[in-house]
Each structure stands twice: as C-alpha cells, then as structure tokens.
Structure 1
C-alpha cells in the first residue's frame, strides 16, 4: 500500500481557512474521509451535505468510533456537542461550506504533492480517454487516476486526496452539469495539460443551449496553468471555436489535416478498432481492444498526452493496447445462444447515442440488430425533439427492432415510425415487458445494443440477458401486448 501524505492540524486550518473550535493541540491525520461507514482510525472526517444524506448527522457517531478530527459547517456547530468534543480532545474545525473545504484540502494536497496534472473534459469519451491516457502515462511515470466516475466537486477532491509523494502525474476526469463547475474543478486540480474531447448536446437542461455547453467546457482552458498546454479536437467545430480564444499553448488531435496527432486506415470489427497512429516524427499501427470509430478520437487525445511527455511511439502504442473498455461502455459479449450484446448502458446523451447506434449498424453487418433505449436525461425543453431523432436514426440505420423505456419512450417510438420503421417492430414498456418480448424475438446471430442515462439503470437489462441462455429460459412472456399496441397508437406523430 502506498503511503498517503499525512495532515497536521495546522495544514488543515491553512488549507481550509477554517477556525478550530476544539482540540487546539497538535493533531496528525493519515487521510481524509467523508463516509462514516468506511472511515479509518486516524483519518479526518469532513461532514458533507449531499443530495440524500447530511454528514453532520454522523459526526458524533464517528467521534464515538474514535475519530479525532472533524470538519463541520459553522451553521451546524450549535447542533453538535462541542463541549463533548472538547472533553474528548477532538480537533473540530468549522468552515463556511464543507464541500468547498473538501476541495480546498484537495487543492492543497495537489500542490504539496508536487505532481503534474492532466485534466479531461468533454461531452463524450471522458472516461475512456482518461483510462487510455492513464495507461500511456503509467508506462513511464507513477500515476494517479480518477477511479470510476469520481469527476464532480466531491469526487475530484476525493481522488486528489489519494495522492502519494511517489507519484509524478495525475490523470483526472472533470464532469459538469451547470456553469462554473469546470472552473471550480480546474481551480482545485490546477491542470498542466487540459483535454476537451468534444462538445455535444448534454446537460441542456442546466446549460440551455449548445453554446452554453461550449462555454462551460471552455472553462477548462482558463484553468490550465499559463505555461500549460491544451489538447483539443480538431474535428469538432465548437472545440475549434474555443481554441481560437485561448491564450494557452494548443496541440490538435483528430482526422483532419490540421491535426498534429492523427489517424489513418481505420478498421473496425467485432472486438477491435485498428488504425495507424501518425505522430509528427513516427507512425505505428495500433489495435484498440474496443469497437467503434469514435474510440479512435479518444485514443488520439490520449496519445497526444504521451507525445507531450516525450514517450515513444511504441510506448504510446503499448499503453493504448493495454486499455480495456470501462464497464458499461461498449462492452461486447456473445451469449451461449449466439446473441451478441453491446453493453453501453452506463450513460447516454444524444451524441453518444447516435455514435452507439451507428456502431451497432456497422458491427451487425447483415445480421439483425435491436436497440434497447432508455431516456436521455437533463435535456430540458429539447427532450422530445432529441428523443424523436434517436428513433428516426434507428430507422435510417436499418435497425430491425426498437425497444424504448422511460418517460420519453413514446417520443423515440414516434421518431422511428416517422422514419419508416414498421409499427410492429417498435415496442415501448417497462424493462420487464421489454425483456419478455425481446427473449421471444431474439435468435442466434442477432445483435442488441443497450443504452440510456445513468439514472435509468439499463445495466439491469444486461444482467438479465446474460442470465438468459435461450428461448426456453423461462422468462415470463409479456402479458400486456394489447396495452403496448394501444400505447403506440397514441404516439403523437
């Protein structure tokens, strides 16, 4: 186990600007935690107020467990037994906002660890690009990387608080759903290198327009250190618009001629995407363990990091080929009965859904293909229109069957029917209804893509399908076919 950098009480006060209300004697802590269930003895507890729970409600419990340091919101101080904390020699510091304090601790840790940082944002491909970049940078340097999807104002600090003195680089993912969030995350992590993978139609509910998305993603550029470098997508016109405004050094990746890091001879099959990686002074063929032409763009962004860090073409190739698709992102599995599942269930927005549907159309070849689509959330007033376009795209791409579930399932269905898909090939209903019908419809050599926003829980369908071993697997057949037909009949075309 790598040793985290310890914290003194003086450093905690300096980092957060908080005031000690008890335990003013010197204390040292081994790490920082926000979870009362997993906090270890010796760690500092930061009481975060989240969407579902308020950490202040567990402050006294962690003290009873033996924790000797807590950070609380000063407005909560009167509710906690400060006298009791003083008697137990607990170091208690109060701040204006504990979420901000967590970020301030992370920013302080990033500075004292003396690492360099790659920060990655974009509407699509952030996580895959992060994993690829980490695989490349790790070929040469001890590297920390974002775990899972810890990419927001709580998740990013938790990642940075895991820094060890031996590490030289951190590869971080920055997410957002409202203006100012990327700016704050960049303030915390202070990037040396910043990547914008692309700009698409995500989080429109909070950002209102595609220009709003562009401006929010562009906050990363101002957060890059003055002598740092932006790695930008030359194939994305909105990213290029941002490039023209930034004062940072810029290198471009993509398929266009003005890209410095580019690809040629792209080939996609069931499990691999291969291409020739073209660096300024070398070329090498790369085979990614992931299908989809869009993965090439992610790989080029990651390869640009390797180029900036003076890794050889072979080292970049080795890193990229060591990449494994993240769970729920274009994972391909062929079942024993010959049905192939494309599990892209982790999340969805209109652009990633479009890319996945086009990948399905290409991968299935002459075989039958089906889409199981869940709602794409946070699209605001554009929800109906953008869901209809997904249905239209299914028809345009020759997808043989469409399943849709969720609040906007009728809009997806309407789009498919408008696009020319036969009404008998369009099914809306619950996940259970879809599974019942689908396991009757599927036959060997069929391909099925499963995708929807995180909150839709589309991975449950993937799990059920993997448990299913054939037409006689015993899954209950849908009993509500008449209701299904009537629902389609009510679609507003």
Structure 2
C-alpha cells in the first residue's frame, strides 16, 4: 500500500494505536517491535478489539484485507506522519534541549492556545515513535503544532527534523544530559544544535535565548531569529524579579507571577512569551496563560505533605538540572531544608565524577540533612547519608521519621521513582 493510500485510510479513521490494551473502535494499529515484544503477534487481538486496520511487517501474520503488510512498520509510521504533516497547513514549532523541554512545551502551548488552535506533544512522547504519533494528531483546523524532540545520541534530532519539517525551532539549553550517548558535553552541543542546523539550512525561523552564549554565538550571523534577553537591549527584554519560590517576571511593565519555582524556569517562561509575541498574542492573554499554568507529573511540584513543604522534582535529573535545583533550594527562605537525591542515569564514564560533584555541592550548602540514594551516590566520598537503594532509604525513613516540620527537595532520574518517598515522610 502506498503512503498516500494509507493516509486516505487514516483520514477515514484518524486515530493510531500501538498498544492493543488501549485500542479504540476503528483505530489503525501499528504492530511495532521492541527488544522484548513483537507487535505482529497481536494482529488478531487488535482486530478483535476493534481496530479498522493492522499494519504488520511479517507475512505469516496476514489475516485478511484488514491487515496491511509493509516492509517495516516503524518506517511506515514515520512516513505516514511526514506525509500527514505535509498535507497540513499547520505551522510546526519544534523544541529540544537538555533540560526544561516538556515544561517549555507546555508553556508554549498554554500561551498560543489562547489565540490559536494548537496541538502539542503529549507527555514526553518525543522520540522516533513519539514525534510521528504527535504529528498524526494534527487536525484539519490545527494552526500550530508544538513538537518536542528528545535525543540521547548524535543524528537523532536531525532525523526527527526530517520527519517533522519544522517551520520554527527553539533549544532550551545545552546541559550534561545523556553524556553516555553523546560522548560528552561537546557531543550534547552538537547533537542538540542539529535543530538549528536544519532550520538554518532550510531558511526557517529560530527563537533563541540571547542570554545563552552558546546560542548567541551559534546564531550570530543568522538573520531569521527572534530572541529574548534580560541583558541585551537588541533583543526583546524580559526581567526576572524574583523566584522565592515562584518565578515573578516583568515584561513591558507588566508583572507576571507564575506557579513555577526556581530561576531555572525563567527562560522557559521567556521562550513562551517570545513565541506568543511573534504570533501576536495579546500580552494580557500571555499573562493569564502563564499565571494559570501549574506544573504536575513530578516536575517541580510544590506539595504539602503532613505539614512538610516539599518540592517534588522526581521526573528526571542530570548534573545540570541537579546543580540549579540545589542552588535554587539553597536560596529559598525556608527552615530545616532536607535533600533527598537519587542517582542520575545515562552518564557513562562521567558518572563517578558527576555524582561526586553533586555530592560535594550538596554537602557544601547549608542543608539540615542530605540523603543520597542509589549505587552511584553510594560510591561517592561524602559526609552525607548514603543509601544504596530505595529499599534502604525506606528503612532509614521509617526508623528515623522527620518529626519537625521541614522543607524537602526530592530529585532523581526517572528510574529512581523517588515520588515513592511521599508515602514515607
């Protein structure tokens, strides 16, 4: 089946599924493969559960004319997404970066949907499967699609750009994330900059943080750029007033008080503002959108747990995000500050050094107590309480409950699942 024919079938039933447990009536099921599963084996189940078509790439699973045999299911999904994107009139904004991608994506969507019909990446479906699935949610009336792109190795962003063909792009920052796959910080800069490279080569527009010297230098001679800065008057001016704990900023003499903690969220807000200004969203609507937005899903959430003040930032972690989170927590005007930090993953050969650096920083600051959890933190030379696993942390907290009302920062990589701590405090 040609892609245009598959696209016609998709338009008749514009809903994709890759999980037979979540199939809705008339979904098109793509039988993807993974290290531990083969979607082809679920072809009959997909049809039984209501799928209108099943896309397979192993001939022995052909059932009837509702099963479509292709050379490779994943490639077909990506080609369909690109074809669909090309048929749409929607403008595509892509963003990537080491930290803050998902929060920035949510903020951009919040401000733009005040004026436009938008779609945006759900959760963090930002890889070679998630980006196609996002593009396939573009509706006939969609005006702007906000597509988050994640990567843990070189050429990944380049590949995602070929699928999404963005009209605009933004990079949040270049930090110490996925060092193992990128081969170090210079690899991170090169890999994330593949978005800029694509946009420049196709003469597309770029949004930039002009206070970031890496971005400013990279785009010094490029003309199709729209930047923000708190320092350089050549760019749109936005000033941070405070972050105690919430980001409070001023733009065009309008004060905006957000529900986002930490100065590290200031540029994320600025990115949303500059894009909204570019698309002529009224400043009053921008203010309303930013002030209405509340983070969730373990991303810098502020909680009250049995009288304790808790910053739950357990969605993910890397050395760069850890550093700014610790510095922000240290700056807060709170009593009895307690750190619970979990291992940072995908650091490769840098893991030992980076965990030691964070351990040193944590113990150098004025915290009541520092708890380090995970095999990497356990191996550090530190005066902090080091615990090899979450189970050891659980035993520690049960035997030594925090009686006095305290302030906690809980942060670690997703695999540490440190949100489980909430039941123990």
Q: Normalized against structure 2, the TM-score is what?
A: 0.92
Q: Which residue of structure 1 aligns with residue 320 of structure 2?
A: 351
Say how many residue pairs are matched. Answer: 423
Verify the 8 A CA contact 1:394 1:402 in the aligned structure 2. Answer: yes
Q: Distance in 2 between matches of 1:250 and 1:227?
A: 10
Distance 1:456 1:108, change over 3 A: same
Q: Which residue of structure 2 aligns with residue 291 of structure 1?
A: 261
Query: In the alignment, does 2:363 pair up with 1:395?
Result: yes
Pick one of 132, 145, 152 that aligns with 2:127: 152
Pick one of 110, 113, 117 that aligns with 1:135: 110
Query: In the alignment, does 2:101 pair up with 1:126?
Result: yes
Q: Which structure: larger Rg? A: 1
Give the gaps of 5 or more residues in structure 1. 1-8, 17-24, 418-422, 469-493
Q: Distance in 1 between matches of 2:317 and 2:226?
A: 28
Residue 28 of structure 1, CA deviation:
4.5
The 5 A counterparts of 1:477-492 are none
Q: Distance in 1 between matches of 2:233 and 2:401?
A: 47
SS at match of 2:273: helix
Query: In the alignment, does 2:206 pair up with 1:230?
Result: yes
Verify the 8 A CA contact 2:24 2:49 in the aligned structure 1. Answer: no
Q: Distance in 2 between matches of 1:146 and 1:214?
A: 23
Q: Distance in 2 between matches of 1:290 and 1:460?
A: 22
Q: Which residue of structure 2 aligns with residue 46 of structure 1?
A: 30
Verify the 8 A CA contact 1:339 1:447 in the aligned structure 2. Answer: yes
Residue 12 of structure 1, CA deviation:
4.6
Distance 1:399 1:343, change over 3 A: same
Verify the 8 A CA contact 1:344 1:450 in the aligned structure 2. Answer: yes
SS at match of 2:375: coil
Distance 1:28 1:135, change over 3 A: closer
Distance 1:364 1:427, change over 3 A: farther
Q: Distance in 1 between matches of 2:87 and 2:282?
A: 30
Residue 392 of structure 1, CA deviation:
1.0
Q: Which residue of structure 2 aligns with residue 459 of structure 1?
A: 419
Q: Distance in 1 between matches of 2:35 and 2:26?
A: 27
- Greater shift, 173-182 or 50-59, is seen at 50-59
Pick one of 266, 269, 272 that aligns with 1:302: 272
Distance 1:454 1:113, change over 3 A: same
Q: Distance in 2 between matches of 1:26 and 1:143?
A: 20
Q: Which residue of structure 1 aligns with residue 168 of structure 2?
A: 193
Q: Which residue of structure 2 aligns with residue 208 of structure 1?
A: 183
- Greater shift, 29-38 or 191-200, is seen at 29-38
Verify the 8 A CA contact 1:202 1:350 in the aligned structure 2. Answer: yes
| Cα deviation 1:50-86 (Å, max 9, x = unaligned) | 243221121232234453422222xx22x32x3xx2x
SS at match of 1:305: helix
Q: Distance in 2 between matches of 1:316 and 1:26?
A: 35
Q: Distance in 2 between matches of 1:47 and 1:304?
A: 40
Q: Normalized against structure 1, the TM-score is what?
A: 0.80
Distance 1:66 1:125, change over 3 A: closer
| Cα deviation 1:273-293 (Å, max 9, x = unaligned) | 21112xxxx331110111101
- Greater shift, 174-183 or 261-270, is seen at 261-270
Q: Distance in 1 between matches of 2:240 and 2:52?
A: 59
| Cα deviation 1:35-59 (Å, max 9, x = unaligned) | 1222223222211112432211212
Q: Distance in 1 between matches of 2:268 and 2:33?
A: 35
The 5 A counterparts of 1:396-435 are 396-411=364-379, 413-414=380-381, 417=382, 423=383, 425-435=384-394
Residue 445 of structure 1, CA deviation:
3.6
Verify the 8 A CA contact 1:135 1:319 in the aligned structure 2. Answer: yes
Distance 1:393 1:89, change over 3 A: same
Residue 93 of structure 1, CA deviation:
3.2
Pick one of 35, 38, 53 that aligns with 1:69: 53
Pick one of 65, 68, 74 that aligns with 1:92: 68
Q: Distance in 2 between matches of 1:163 and 1:58?
A: 27
Q: Distance in 2 between matches of 1:406 and 1:258?
A: 45
Q: Distance in 2 between matches of 1:27 and 1:116?
A: 19
Verify the 8 A CA contact 1:360 1:447 in the aligned structure 2. Answer: no
Q: Which residue of structure 1 aligns with residue 410 of structure 2?
A: 450
Residue 160 of structure 1, CA deviation:
1.6
Query: In the alignment, does 2:4 pair up with 1:35?
Result: no
Distance 1:106 1:178, change over 3 A: same
Q: Which residue of structure 2 aligns with residue 325 of structure 1?
A: 295
Q: Distance in 2 between matches of 1:164 and 1:37?
A: 24
Query: In the alignment, does 2:248 pair up with 1:274?
Result: yes
Residue 11 of structure 1, CA deviation:
4.8
